Structure 1
C-alpha cells in the first residue's frame, strides 16, 4: 500500500469482537477524509492489507455507499482512462465510526 495510506490506528476489534471489513474501511475513510478531505486507494492493495479478497472489499465499499456512510467519485486520466475512485466520508459515516470502541477489557472475576 502507498506510504501515505496506512491502516495504523484502524481498529481490528470493536466492542470486544473482531471488526468487520466494512467497519475497518469506514474508519480508514473517515480518518483520511478528516485529515485530507478524501482518499484514493488501490482495492487490490487495500484488500491485501486487510487480509480479504477484492470482492469482499467491493462488497464493503458498496454497503457503505448504499448506506450513505461514504461517497465516491471516479478519477480519470487526461486521456479519459479511469484511474480509480476517490472516497470521502459523510457526516453519517463519521458519526457511526465515532461509536466504534476499542476492545473491551477482560472481565475480572
Structure 2
C-alpha cells in the first residue's frame, strides 16, 4: 500500500512482541526481509519488541498510528499456488480482526 501510490511516508516504527514457540528466527528473517524490501523504496522500517503488549502497532512519522488486533498475519492462506489471490493480497480473504487508526494529536500520552 505504501509503495503503490504517491506517498510521503519515510519511516515506519513497528512495535511488536516476539513470536512464541520457537518461531523467533523465522519472525526475525521475515521482518528483516520486509525491512530490506521497504528500503528499496526509500522507506525505513524501525522494529522494536515488547513483552508486555498484545496488539501490534505501526506508527508513521506523520503522526498516524495503526493498531492491528491479530498482528500482521491477517490474510488467509490461499488454497494453492494457482488460486486467485496467491500473488495479489487485495484478492485474498482476511481473518476476522480489528484495525484501529489514530492520529497522535487525538490521543493522550500516558
On whether the aligned pair clears a TM of 0.5, the verdict is no
Q: TM-score with structure 1 length normalisation?
A: 0.27
Greater relative CO, 1 or 2 (CA 8 Å, sep 6+): 1
Q: Which has the higher strand share?
A: 2
